[in-house]
Amino acid sequence: MVSSAKRDGRRVVSVLLGAPNENGRIESSRALLNYGFNAYENAKLAATGEALGQPAVYKGAAAQVTVGPASDVVLTLPRGQAAKATRDIVLTTPVIAPVAVGQQLGTLKLLVDGQPVGEVALVAQTAVEEGGFFRRLWDTIRLWFGW
C-alpha cells in the first residue's frame, strides 16, 4: 500500500508491504506517516532571491554581480539536526560580462555534520552588460596579469 499526506507544507509518503489485512495496512500506514511528520523537520538554508555572494565581473558595465539560489533551498532532516546543517559557497571565477539573469555562476554545497548532502546552483540575480572599450581593455590586461 502506498499512501501520502501533506501537513504544514511538507509531504510524507509511506510504502507498506506485507500487512495481514486492510485494517492493519491502514493503521500501519498512519503510524508511518505520523512518524515521518514527528521525527523529521524541514530546514530552510537559503531563500529565493537571497544574496549569497557578489563576485567581481570583468569587462562589464558593473564591477560585481549578485548571486543566489533560483529557488528556496530546503533540507528534510531528523528533528533537532537543523543546527548541524551548513552551507558552503563556491563561486565560479573569473566572471566575464555579459552576464544574464539566471546564468549559473557558482554552487551552494549543503553539508550536515560536515558531510556533503547536496548541491544547488547559484545564479545571477541581475544582468551585467558588457562594458565600454577601455573597461574591456583594462580588464583584459588585469586578467592576463592576474590582478
pLDDT (tens digit, 9 = 90+) per residue, 106-117? 999 999 999 999
So what's the pLDDT on residue 22? 86
So what's the pLDDT on residue 130? 97
CATH number of the domain located at residue range(s) 43-145 in this protein = 2.60.410.10
18 pLDDT band, cuts 50/70/90, is confident
Mean pLDDT, residues 15-39 taken together: 90
82-83-85-88 Cα dihedral, nearest 10 degrees:
140
pLDDT digits (tens, 9 = 90+) for 52-76: 999 999 999 999 999 999 999 999 9
CB 129 within 8 A of CB 65: no
So what's the pLDDT on residue 133? 97
